[in-house]
Amino acid sequence: MANNDTSIYNLLKHKALLHPKKVAIFTEKGKLNYEKLLHYTNKIASYLQLHIKAGDNIGIFMENSWQYIVATYAISAVGATFVPINATFKSKELSYILSDANIKCMFCSDTLKDIVSKSIAIHKCNTIIWVGDENHRRDFVKILEQDISFTPRKVNLDDNAAIFYTSGTTGSPKGAVLTNKNILTTYKAITNHIKLRKNDRVALYLPMHLSFSLIPLAITPLCYGISIVLSRFISTQHLLKTFALKGVTILFATPAIYEMLIEAPDSLLIDLFNKIRYVISGASPIHIDTIKKIENKFKKATFLEAYGLVEACTVVTINPMQQVKIGSVGVPLLDYKVKIIDSYDLELPNRTIGEIIIKGDNIMKSYLNSSIDNPCSVNNGWLYTGDLGYLDDDGYLYITDRKKDLIIYNFIHIYPSEIEPIIEDYNGIKEVAVVAKKDKKCNEIPVAFFVKEDDASININNLRKYLQGFLAKAKIPKIFIEIEELPRNSSGKVMKKVLRELANNSNP
């Protein structure tokens, strides 16, 4: 990176000047070259410049689209901070983010207008930029037609660049503040490790409010100067056909998604399976049997398993291409440091399980509105992840467990303490505990154990309908189990380990 590359916008501008006519984004209906992408980014940035100031937090409450990417780079161009918001959120969840992050301006998809209108905090947002489809000339399109000059603002590496929300143990989402240095360090780490080619095309289909989607699969490829294939996840067949038609060469997915992809018939998509150079897995542990099936399906591809978290700007370790160890999430990238410690912060010897801590320029600046109940902590530059694992004699990291209560469903991190208070507010519910249950696709689904009030009658279908008004679909428990009382230890804490065992032994 050059000395003046202090933001993702600067890198995009540099690539647009180098090869303006190269395709930056393949959409399902067309394509956008680097020259046009930069032009649109400057147009949106020129508008933002009139309405916000450097350092303001700008929300992006949108479904995946090329406009999402333009908004992200435009926010970077004006020295503001982009705040991706889960497009499946209900009005209550949206209101929390708007208030917590003090959102001054927000990009919103037309399809989400009902959610936005019901948000009690929307009045705090001074400017809303509506984004419609090609048949609706909304604010976004009108701004692109305006003739406003734009001069990029000077930004520093230590300036805030993004806030990604992750759930905390108290149930309130926590905003991880990432700087320009954090994101550019991750960009450098990925591009140093994976030897990209100028004709590579990266699949982008996971929701971009996820740091593991937006940073490695959207920002990194465009800053490097290669192409993105943007697709909706309507079905496995639709996804694979899009990848085949657009010539995807790099695929990142969760174990659950790989389980679906490897079931596709070879005869239909043999061309795709032969073009893929890298298949990368992350977000949750993957079974060895699944890895073997992936390698059998993508015969010409290199399989790599990675590990990371939003507080470490997505990616920390990944398997070296020249020496992949199945079952390991690889070695630290760049000059990142990874240690395994005990409960007294003493470093443990190799092959001894303990807490994983990480240090490097990828570590977040802080949590927004930090409090004592954060999911991770930073001490003397070291990020205490709460995840458990060990290092082997070659420095490869193995994950053995993770934060006990965390549920990972299709790349979405779900904390039970977000769900439990809402269920307990339902008439007739006395107390509840939510735990994870493994399904056949390597996903973890939330299961709710509940104790009802005396003489109460709980209709599960009605309970589900009630929860739909407060929670995103993925957070609503798939299974409800009535129990006489919750198991507790001598100090009165609910023994969730016992409940997890019950959930995993229960019928689907």
Nearest in space to 177 (alpha carbons), one of 186, 158, 164: 164
d(CA 204, CA 69): 11
Q: Per residue in 1-53, pLDDT tens? A: 555 689 999 999 999 999 999 999 999 889 999 999 999 999 999 999 999 99
In three-state secondary structure terms, 243 is helix
List the alpha helices (DSSP H) in 262-359.
Answer: 266-275, 288-297
Q: How many CB atoms lie under 10 A from the CB of residue 364?
A: 23
Q: CB within 8 A of 187, min separation 6: which ones? A: 8, 11, 215, 219, 220, 223, 224
CA angle 435, 441, 447 (to 5 degrees): 20
d(CA 169, CA 418): 8
d(CA 89, CA 167): 13
* Strand residue runs (E) in 180-276: 201-204, 227-230, 250-253
d(CA 483, CA 473): 24
d(CA 55, CA 162): 10
Rama region for 403: left / alpha / beta (φ>0; ψ in -120 to 50; rest): beta
Tell me the pLDDT of the chain (508 aa) as tens digits.
555 689 999 999 999 999 999 999 999 889 999 999 999 999 999 999 999 999 999 999 999 999 999 999 999 999 999 999 999 999 999 999 999 999 999 999 999 999 999 998 888 899 999 998 655 557 899 999 988 888 889 999 999 999 999 854 345 789 999 999 999 999 999 999 999 999 999 999 999 999 999 999 999 999 999 999 999 876 778 888 888 889 999 999 887 788 778 877 765 566 667 789 999 998 777 778 788 888 888 888 999 999 999 999 999 999 998 899 998 999 999 999 999 999 899 999 999 988 999 999 999 999 998 766 676 788 999 999 988 889 999 999 998 866 567 788 877 878 787 898 899 999 999 999 999 998 877 788 999 999 999 889 999 999 999 999 999 999 999 999 999 999 975 335 678 888 988 998 876 6
CA dist list (Å): 317 to 10, 56, 61, 219, 331: 26, 32, 30, 19, 5
In three-state secondary structure terms, 156 is coil
Q: Which two tokens stand for residue 359?
A: 């240090």
CA angle 11, 358, 288 (to 5 degrees): 90
At 182, give phi and psi (nearest 5°).
Answer: -55, -50
Q: Per residue in 316-329, pLDDT tens? A: 999 998 899 998 99
pLDDT value of residue 370: 76
Q: Per residue in 318-370, pLDDT tens? A: 999 889 999 899 999 999 999 999 989 999 999 998 899 999 999 999 999 87
Rama region for 442: left / alpha / beta (φ>0; ψ in -120 to 50; rest): left
pLDDT value of residue 149: 83
Q: How many CB atoms lie under 10 A from the CB of residue 142?
A: 12
pLDDT value of residue 352: 94
Q: How many CB atoms lie under 10 A from the CB of residue 88?
A: 17
Domains defined along the chain, listed by start: 329-401 (2.30.38.10), 407-505 (3.30.300.30)
